[in-house]
Structure 1
């Protein structure tokens, strides 16, 4: 691919992709006839809808394949963390069990009852499991993919939804191979397992289905990250947003993906910040709606894993004292977010020197500068941009310390 101009790069990062073209046209039309006040309700509804977006992921397979461990790993939890799925118990339930994400309650992972019975009927199973509820299915096997896994995949495909084959407990496979053979080539052994799975699935009628080899206890290794990238790539913009924000912070790249998504929300918060409730920031002549500003920063902090509960979960996962992770985060990011904290961190200082012209060049190209550079909009936009930058940099440092990466 060739290079892009700077304006093209800005457009790529700033385009508000949560809106359809029809919605963008309506925003422009409403602004032309009624100004900012007329478009505020539309943007407020969009922010609310995004916050309420549901994502339901079904995890199925035979009992004992590691479904509970996988669900915990996807939520960044260990089995002894509050809210974790119970691990190692005999499966007796015949109903789906939903596990909400610890910080995004509209994201659910559903542990579906085992598919291992001889009388298994895929069509009846999916009806009983409320098939339409789920955005996609993850079919987990701890050895080879069984006949019931294939039956289920065929029925899911017939009904028009996505599914993914996951081969779990790869760490145990390698452990057993090491005990049996002593020295061996790990890469070759993994390729052997993968090839065997792919071949058997092809024989069953799935010649192009990838197989993800994972260990729920080692999510930074094997295909765990590749699986998440595959899931992300098959979701639409709105669902993709919530899926990425729900990912555990396993790498700097995940933090950066989250930051990019959050940046696309800033102009919406900025538009809502004008009018009633606008209060000057101490030391700055411009004003904004303080509740919107603080609420957005608190939300950004939680999404980037810098709130107390998220840091504790990451510390548990990484086997590090939580104080070691917190020591890498600059105050007042760990404190209550207040106007005083915003002033102390200097997020509003640069606003005074930013002209309307400079701002327009940095604004959302799809909308253009229809919202102008009103003081409340400008203030909120610049403060949130500065806050997100600092939060992102701190989240990246935390991940590096947690997993001892450069």
Structure 2
């Protein structure tokens, strides 16, 4: 029994019940204003006044629906008054109610339907909000023995004490109608003010771009931080094994430089993830490739490099992704083969950029597994319209080779 009563009275304790009620009352404002403009409206009697209020603003509402900004205003009002809970940007986005202006005639048609529905529901609710409390007061006066006759209501010429039993009834009816109408309007708002197909497509594209950007950042962090940690571990191990103060100083200097660059890359990625930062730090390009080679040399590898072509003039996307691909290839060498001799070739011409990193295979090679690094390297090449391969060659060396076309990017 107590559970049933709690279910019945729960809407009375929710703020959204009253904001939805207010939303319905606001709908009759346009009709009231139209009634003042149309002379004689409020000299009518009974329900005729409310009929005029429901009919007079229809042409105005249909014309207003053609204005794109009206849909935005109605969407904001519906979000604030019809949906419960907080109303921050994330919560508003989850209401299913759009706040963008009308972009098509279909949007304008849905807006017109929404405005007419608001009027059709709001005017009766407004009429009951005015009349039913007056009816309760009339029953109360009749119970006290007074004859009553209020405008728009039947006269009570035979007052009696039993009218006291009817006093709560109009208020119960009013609350039931207000709660039901509020739920109806909240559901209708999602249908008539919900995102159009074009809006849903735009949201999907934005979300997809965000996911791709996050995946790209994750790949860059994997390449940059993985490279830095690999070099640092090798340098620390070599310094401890060498037992030479001079070598230890060089190793610490290399660790410091590698760590500083990794921190720069990490800060740039974090700046990209923070939406309030409009200009993230510049990403490294192939013109900075010498820094990668020195890092590998400092880790103990003998690096033979061949750099040719106008690397500084490469298109930005190719140069940045090419840098990361060389970095990942060198990281794989240090991680899996150790400080072995490495051959690096970076060649650019008018048609393509070629990247090649070769190193001797370990004496007892582990089973080849395609990890995130090599997979990311291939994905970078494919996104730029190129191709990357990695694996042992006929000379018994591990070879990473990528070719990125340039002609269509210039």
TM-score category (smaller protein): under 0.3
Decide which structure has greater helix share.
Answer: 2
Q: Could you tell me the TM-score, scaled by structure 2's length?
A: 0.20
Q: Could you tell me the TM-score, scaled by structure 1's length?
A: 0.20
Whose Rg is larger? 2
Asked which structure has the greater RCO (Cα within 8 Å, sep 6+), the reply is 1
